[in-house]
Chain A
Amino acid sequence: MIPFDFEYYRPDTPEEAVMLYDDLYKEGKNPLYYGGGTEIISFSRLYQLYPGAVIDIKGIPECNVLEQKNGYLVIGAALTLSQIQESNIFPLLIHCGGRVADHTIRDKITLGGNICAKIPYREAVLALLTCDADIMIQGTDGKKRVNIHEVFNQFLRINKGEFLLQVIINEKIARLPFASYKTTADGAVAYPQDKIGYPVVSGAGINKDGKLRVAVSGVCNYPVRLAEVDNALNDTGIPRFERINNAVEFFPIISDMEGSADYRTFVLKNILFDMMERLEYY
């Protein structure tokens, strides 16, 4: 139950959405783009957010596409994580996005919502970082396609009023062999499907042209892929354990109630080791 009112809009076109944002912003209504809304609703209930208006992007056709085009996968920001999962279109994204919250909530959480959320983990981003995804952004001056590494640094750094329209991934990269793991704080992990709970470490990796690329959540307060880490892991001149030890040094590893920094380091090392095994990268 949200103890205040806000205005709700569901525009039909991207252009309408950004113009609306601009107007609402000027009126001082502190508008928010709204995807699945799960975070906006739960944060508003606890007074951690006070939007004066929300702009639901689920009515915009471009945000609902799911297609293979010219060697690229195009995934609309308003698709739910469940829809993506059922489509079977991008296995690594299915793995990473498929362990956010729980199955029923993934029927509501959208891809765009997860990428732009405040929660530190945002595991869908891991797939995009490892696969060098492009993202399509809608602004008042039109659409622009940029590489995720240009705009994602701890969070998606786009201008006020802009919003995420689509994610675009090179199909070849999306089909590469991958490794994906999540560890939670709980003791009883009976099946790999048991993934409810915030991650101590959640990691995704691919082997592209004989080079390992790794992105992780839970380790820091944001999903991250670091060039230094990739370089250290790919430094094949030295033994594997040493590479892993070198790589983890680059993360500012956090401590919280889900796990202390030294425990997270321990788990991260095991996960990196498992990834290398899985991707036959020695």
Chain B
Amino acid sequence: MFSLQKKEFMDLNINGEKKSVVIRSADTLLDVLRNQLGLTGAKPSCKNGDCGACTVLIDGWPVKSCLMLAVEAVGHEITSIEGLKETAMQKTFIDCFAFQCGYCTSGFIMNCHGLSRIHPGADYGIIREWLQSNLCRCTGYEEITDAIKSVLDQNAALEQ
């Protein structure tokens, strides 16, 4: 039986690398990413699962890292925004002006990136359902819509 009594060294598989970190059983993944691994791309905003600014991918699925214990992530593949390198989604977010202050952007990009991988042919209904998990207070969401649609269209074009 796997267990963590209080605080121990654990291996996390993060952005394709194995990192050994001290995890307290009650630590959220968000706190471990930021405070121990220096991966500050995932942002603390509500820490209550309501805003999506801390979204990362776990085995490719978007998860709010404030509502996941770090210990739960052991044995899974974690991808944070720092693990994305020159992806179409990042480039398109710039081209579409899909952010202003940028604080929600990592979370949005992770969710969009996850979506484009899991449902490359997603229709607007699915896009909407997925992206309603993230809040942006600066934009009116139009540019973010443009960005995700544009990347999915690129996917579709590549398919053909």
A complexed with B = yes
State whether B133 touches A103 (Cβ < 8 A): yes
Which residues on B sit within 8 Å (CB–CB) of A107?
58, 61-63
User: Quick check: is B67 within 8 A (CB to CB) of the other chain?
Assistant: yes
Select the residue from B6, B24, B25, B128 with max chain A CB neighbours within 10 A: B25
* Chain A: minimal CB distance from B7 (Å): 8
Chain A minimum-CB-distance residue to B48: A42
The contact string, 1 if C-beta is below 8 Å from chain A, for chain B 30-59, is 010000000000000001110010010010
- Identify which of residues 89-119 in chain B touch chain A, using a CB-to-CB cut-off of 8 Å: 111
User: Quick check: is A240 within 8 A (CB to CB) of the other chain?
Assistant: no
- Identify which of residues 1-45 in chain A touch chain B, using a CB-to-CB cut-off of 8 Å: 1-2, 4-12, 16, 20, 36-38, 41-42, 44-45
Chain B minimum-CB-distance residue to A82: B61
Q: Which residues of A contact B (CB under 8 A)?
A: 1-2, 4-12, 16, 20, 36-38, 41-42, 44-45, 54, 56, 58-59, 82, 101-105, 107-108, 191, 193-194, 196
State whether A8 touches B67 (Cβ < 8 A): no
Listed from nearest, the 9 A-B pairs whose CB atoms lie closest are: A104-B133, A102-B133, A2-B26, A8-B25, A10-B2, A8-B4, A9-B3, A38-B67, A104-B62
Select the residue from A1, A45, A101 with max chain B CB neighbours within 10 A: A1
State whether B128 touches A108 (Cβ < 8 A): no
State whether A5 touches B25 (Cβ < 8 A): yes
User: Quick check: is B9 within 8 A (CB to CB) of the other chain?
Assistant: no
Q: Which residues of B contact A (CB under 8 A)?
A: 1-7, 24-28, 31, 47-49, 52, 55, 58, 61-64, 66-69, 71-72, 111, 125, 128-130, 132-134
Select the residue from A1, A8, A108, A191 with max chain B CB neighbours within 10 A: A8
* Chain B: minimal CB distance from A151 (Å): 27
A selection of 28 A-B contacts at a CB cut-off of 8 Å is A2-B26, A2-B27, A4-B26, A6-B26, A8-B4, A9-B1, A9-B2, A10-B2, A36-B67, A38-B49, A41-B28, A41-B66, A42-B48, A45-B47, A58-B72, A59-B1, A103-B130, A103-B133, A104-B55, A104-B63, A104-B64, A105-B64, A107-B63, A108-B67, A108-B68, A191-B125, A194-B128, A196-B132
Known: A1-B31, A7-B6, A38-B67. A56 touches B26 (CB 8 A): no
* Chain A: minimal CB distance from B150 (Å): 21
State whether B49 touches A37 (Cβ < 8 A): no
C-alpha gap A196/B52 in the complex (Å): 13
State whether A37 touches B72 (Cβ < 8 A): yes
Contact of B63 among A6, A108, A191 (CB under 8 A): A108
Known: A41-B67, A104-B55, A104-B111. A7 touches B4 (CB 8 A): yes
Which residues on B sit within 8 Å (CB–CB) of A42?
48-49, 67
* Chain B: minimal CB distance from A154 (Å): 24
C-alpha gap A104/B67 in the complex (Å): 10
State whether A5 touches B133 (Cβ < 8 A): no
* Chain A: minimal CB distance from B71 (Å): 5
C-alpha gap A202/B138 in the complex (Å): 31
* Chain A: minimal CB distance from B1 (Å): 5
Known: A1-B47, A7-B5. A37 touches B64 (CB 8 A): no
Which residues on A sit within 8 Å (CB–CB) of B58?
107
Which residues on A sit within 8 Å (CB–CB) of B134?
104
State whether A1 touches B28 (Cβ < 8 A): yes
Chain A minimum-CB-distance residue to B3: A9
Which residues on A sit within 8 Å (CB–CB) of B31?
1
* Chain A: minimal CB distance from B78 (Å): 13
Contact of A8 among B61, B64, B71 (CB under 8 A): B71
State whether B28 touches A59 (Cβ < 8 A): no
Contact of A37 among B48, B69, B129 (CB under 8 A): B69
State whether A105 touches B3 (Cβ < 8 A): no
C-alpha gap A179/B39 in the complex (Å): 45
Which residues on B sit within 8 Å (CB–CB) of A12?
1
State whether B67 touches A7 (Cβ < 8 A): no
Which residues on A sit within 8 Å (CB–CB) of B1?
9-12, 16, 20, 59
C-alpha gap A49/B128 in the complex (Å): 33
